[in-house]
Amino acid sequence: MKLDFNLSLEKVNQQLPRFWELSGQKIRSIESTFDTGKGAPVFTEKGTYVTRGWTEWTQGFQYGSAILQFDATGETDFLEIGRKNTVAKMAPHLTHIGVHDHGFNNVSTYGNLLRLILEGKIEGSDWEKEFYTLALKVTGAVQATRWTTIPSGGFIYSFNGPHSLFVDTIRSCRALVVSHQLGHVLQAENDKRISLIQRAVQHLLSTVRFSIFYGKGRDSYDISGRTAHEIIFNTNDGNYRCPNSQQGYTGFSTWTRGLAWAICGLGETLEILDQIKESDYSDVISKKDLIAELSQAAIATSEFYLANTPVDGIPYWDTGAPNLHRLGDYLNRPADPFNGFEPVDSSAACIAAQGLIRIGNWLTASDPERAKTYQQAGIQLASVLFSEPYLSTQGSHQGLILHSIYHQPNGWDYVPEKGKVAHGESSMWGDYHARELALLIQRMANKEPYYTYLNCVPA
C-alpha cells in the first residue's frame, strides 16, 4: 500500500454526507423488500440482498446498520428500524448455541442501542436499559459455553466443532468482554462460576499464538503477520495439529478477510484494556504481558497487510490465490475488481481500515511514527472505499460497498460477466463495517466522543 500523507482526516470527513445519504437509501430499500422469514440478508446478487443458509450470522449487521445510521445522521426513522427489529427478531441470536458469532449479531444491535442511551444520544427508560443489559449478559455467557480446553488455556470454538479455532472470533469475543463488564459470570455444573473475561483473554491469547505467524519457523510458510483462517486441535489432548482454511485458499496462505478480522479485533481490544481490572484476569496473564502479546500481533498483522496489498489498499481475497501471478505486478498498481483471474475483497478493506486506525490511535504515545502510518493507512482506505468504483451509487443496488467476496472456494459469489471474476456485489458485513468506519472517522474529525463498543458499559 502506498501512503499519501497529504490526505487528511478532515478531507475524508467531507465525503461522509454523500456516503450517509446513499447508506440511508440502501437501508430503507432492504427494510421494505427483504423477507426475513427466509433468513438473514447475507450478500447481493444482481444488486439485491439474498440469504445464504449457512448460519444466520449477519442479521445483527442488518439492524445494527440502521442504528449506526441514526447515530451518524440523527434521522429517527433509522433508530425505529433498528430498535423495533432488535426487540422483535434478535432474541433467538442471544441463545444460539450453534455459532461463534454472538459479538457480531448482538453487540451490533443490543450493544449499540445501550451505548446510545449511555452516551445520551437517545432516551431510554430504566426497563429498556435493563432489557438491553440482560441481553448482553446472556449473549456473552452463551458464547463462552463453546469452549475447548488446551494446555495453554482454551478458545471459543467455531461452528465447525470443538477442534476448530477461527481467526474471525477474535472480534466476536467482545460479547464476553461486555458481559463481564456488566457484572455477569457463566455458571456451570455444581454452580461453578466461570469468569467471562478470563475466557475472553484466553481466547485472545490462543488466537495470537496459533492463528498469527511471526516468522519464527513454525512451518515452511511462517511469514511474520500472516494469519490462518482456522487452526485445528486434537480434542483428545488439546494439542495443536495444523493450520486450515474454510474461506481462504489454503491453511498456508492468508485469507485477507481473516487478516482483517485480526487487525480489527486487536485494535479494539488494545484500546479498551485500561477499562478492565487487571485483577479480573491476572490468573491467566499479567496486563503487561497481555499488552506485549497483543501489540506484537497487532503490529505484525498490520505490517503484513500494508506489504501485501495493492497501492490503493484494497486486497485481493487471498494473498496466495492461485492465479494472482497472472495479474503481473499487481501490488504496484491499484486493485482491479474487474479482472479475469482473482477477485478483490472490499469487505476486508472495510474491516482492516477501522483496525488500522484504532491500532494507530493506541500506539500514538509509545510509537508515534508507526501510529501515524497506521492511522494514515486507515484514512486512505476509507477515502477509496467511499468513492467509486467501490461506493455503490446506483439507487437500484441494495449494497453500499461494491466488490465484496463471501466464499470464493465454494463459488457462492455472483459472476456477472463471462471471463471476469465475481465483482459488483456487496455483503452485509462489508456494508456494516463501512458504516462503523465512517462513524469512527466522523466522530474523530468532529471531536465527538470516541466510538468504541465498550461505551455500552456504564463508566
Residue 152, pLDDT above cutoff 80 = yes
What average pLDDT is seen over the chain? 97
The contacts of residue 418 (CB under 8 Å, 6+ apart) are: none
Nearest-angstrom CA–CA distance, 331 and 433: 24
Phi, psi of 124 (to 5 degrees): -145, 135
Task: Classify residue 334: in a domain, yes or no.
Answer: yes
Nearest-angstrom CA–CA distance, 211 and 225: 10
Task: Classify residue 59: in a domain, yes or no.
Answer: yes
pLDDT at 91: 97
pLDDT at 419: 93
Cα→Cα distances 336→316, 348, 421, Å = 9, 15, 10
Phi, psi of 194 (to 5 degrees): -115, 125
List the CATH number of the domain containing 425.
1.50.10.10
Q: Is 121 left (phi over 0), alpha (psi -120 to 50) or beta?
A: alpha
Can you read off the three cell numbers belonging to residue 107?
A: 453487540
Residue 54, pLDDT above cutoff 90 = no
What is the mean predicted confidence (pLDDT) over 189-198?
A: 98
Tell me which amino acid residue 246 is. Answer: Q
Rounded to a whole number of angstroms, the CA Rg of the chain reads 20
Residue 239, pLDDT above cutoff 80 = yes
Q: Which domain holds residue 20?
A: 9-141+259-456
pLDDT at 56: 85
User: Residues 186, 141: contact at Cβ < 8 Å?
Assistant: yes
pLDDT band at residue 55 under the 50/70/90 scheme: confident
The contacts of residue 317 (CB under 8 Å, 6+ apart) are: 248, 255, 256, 257, 342, 343, 344, 345, 348, 405, 408
Task: Classify residue 50: in a domain, yes or no.
Answer: yes
Task: Classify residue 312: in a domain, yes or no.
Answer: yes
What is the mean predicted confidence (pLDDT) over 25-37?
A: 96
pLDDT at 404: 98
The candidate with the shortest Cα–Cα distance to 167, out of 249, 97, 256, is 256
Task: Classify residue 31: in a domain, yes or no.
Answer: yes
Residues 301-354: tens digit of each pLDDT: 999 999 999 999 999 999 999 999 999 999 999 999 999 999 999 999 999 999
Helix (H) / strand (E) containing 435: helix 428-445
Phi, psi of 75 (to 5 degrees): -80, 115
Task: Please report the beta strands in 28-182, taking only residues with DSSP state E, as ranges in sequence order.
Answer: 43-45, 48-50, 147-150, 153-156, 164-166
Residue 393, pLDDT above cutoff 90 = yes
Residues 419-432: tens digit of each pLDDT: 999 999 999 999 99
Task: Classify residue 191: in a domain, yes or no.
Answer: no
What is the mean predicted confidence (pLDDT) over 401-419?
A: 96
The domain total for the chain is 1
pLDDT at 363: 98
What is the mean predicted confidence (pLDDT) over 179-195?
A: 98
Task: Classify residue 192: in a domain, yes or no.
Answer: no
Cα→Cα distances 362→2, 211, 272, 275, 294, Å = 22, 22, 10, 14, 12
Task: Classify residue 210: in a domain, yes or no.
Answer: no
